[in-house]
Amino acid sequence: MAGLTIDNVTKIFEDDDGEIVAIDDVSIDVADEEFLVLVGPSGCGKSTLLRMIAGLETVTSGTITLGDQIINDVKPQYLDVAMVFQSYALYPHMSVRGNMSFGLEESTDLSDDEIDEQVTESAEMMEIADLLDRKPSELSGGQQQRVALGRAIVRDPEVFLMDEPLANLDAKLRAQMRTELQRLQEDLGVTTIYVTHDQTEAMTMGDRIAILDDGRLQQVGDPLTCYHQPANQFVAGFIGEPSMNFFAMDLTGDRLVGERFEYPLTDALSAAVEGRDAVTFGIRPEDISFGGSAGEHAFEMDVDVVEPKGDENIVHLRLADADDEFGAHVSEERSPDAFVATISGMESVEAGESIVATIPPTAVHLFDATTGEAIHNRSLDNVDVSPVE
């Protein structure tokens, strides 16, 4: 068990057409026994980073340290890490027992009996003890995944590496395995680095999450910090589902002026935007509330589409008097007068209804219009984010 340090690591792939910078100067400190999630959109480099730790890709510059040993040039055979692959990578011609014993046979001096013991133990932990003599082709997807996990656990490594291990499972199974994995990791206390593109997985599973985009580290921190205090617009938009509402605004006097609405600034907000002409205005769907009368920070809106999820309702809104200049919006493109709000499942609204939506200034996030950096994040003062007594 040891901590992992990724220090100014860069990875450049050389193609026939030129260079591709897959990882750009990334530094992360992973503490011993920590569960770190590497998350980001497809192509952001998270898998590449994981593979560099595993020794399956070379490091162009920077160092990766495990414990007190630099492992840049250590070959995978000699690293004490175990990896779970997205495709599970089970050996099809060996039984489950064979699959789980392989690692111990090849990298340790243990006797056959000792190996058998450890395999049985791990198999019981993963609840696949009754499958030990089956071949992978005879197992379901979920079972195969457990075998892949079991194969990693039995090695008792210093680090677990997981490359989107739940991606091939159906939704229900995925949710179930999420919880199991967390429990498992806590029980075993092994440093774990987990790669996923699913921000829900990242939020629910990680002690800390590291968000990558285009090879660059956007933010590292615990999930709630990343959620409430995003370092930049990318993080703010990536974390949270449905994602934050963004609007381009210009600063005019004491208000922010967007294409379709204006937002008067409070003192706190004014101070933040000091010296800038343009910002990106952000508000999370769950911070928009309904009811009351129109005012400075409350706007008349028409309900466009309602997605009832049971526990909550996702409401797509458009500012009243939308003169359809922007046409009916189609999924990805959000027109400058469209909002998404999340309200309790118990509140009901209908499409076509007119309501008043309040955007509280305390929940507003502001980002630099050019760099995307966060200028001002919502304050948590009035919100109860304290531990339950």
Contacts to another protein by CB under 8 A: 13-15, 20, 22, 42-48, 50-51, 54-58, 75-79, 81-83, 85-87, 89-93, 102-103, 106-108, 151, 155
Counting Cβ atoms within 10 Å, is residue 321 exposed (0-12), middle (13-18) or buried (19+)? exposed
CB of 58 to another protein, least distance (A): 7
**CB neighbourhood size of 124 (10 A):** 13
In this structure, what token pair is assigned to residue 288?
Answer: 């928009």
Could you please report the per-residue DSSP string of 251-314? EETTEEE-SS-EEE--HHHHHHHTT-SEEEEEE-GGG-EE-S---SSEEEEEEEEEEE-SSEEE
CB of 126 to another protein, least distance (A): 17
CB of 107 to another protein, least distance (A): 3
Q: By the 8 A CB rule, do 349 and 303 touch?
A: yes
CB of 49 to another protein, least distance (A): 9
The sign of the dihedral angle between the CA atoms of 32, 34, 39, 43 is positive
From the list 165, 239, 233, the residue with the least C-alpha distance to 202 is: 239
Q: By the 8 A CB rule, do 80 and 158 touch?
A: yes
SS3 state at 185: helix
| C-alpha distance from residue 124 to each of 99, 118, 138, 146, 224 (Å) | 15, 10, 19, 11, 34
CB of 136 to another protein, least distance (A): 10
From the list 157, 168, 224, the residue with the least C-alpha distance to 196 is: 168
Rounded Cα distance between 222 and 35, Å, is 10
CB of 93 to another protein, least distance (A): 5
Q: By the 8 A CB rule, do 178 and 166 touch?
A: yes
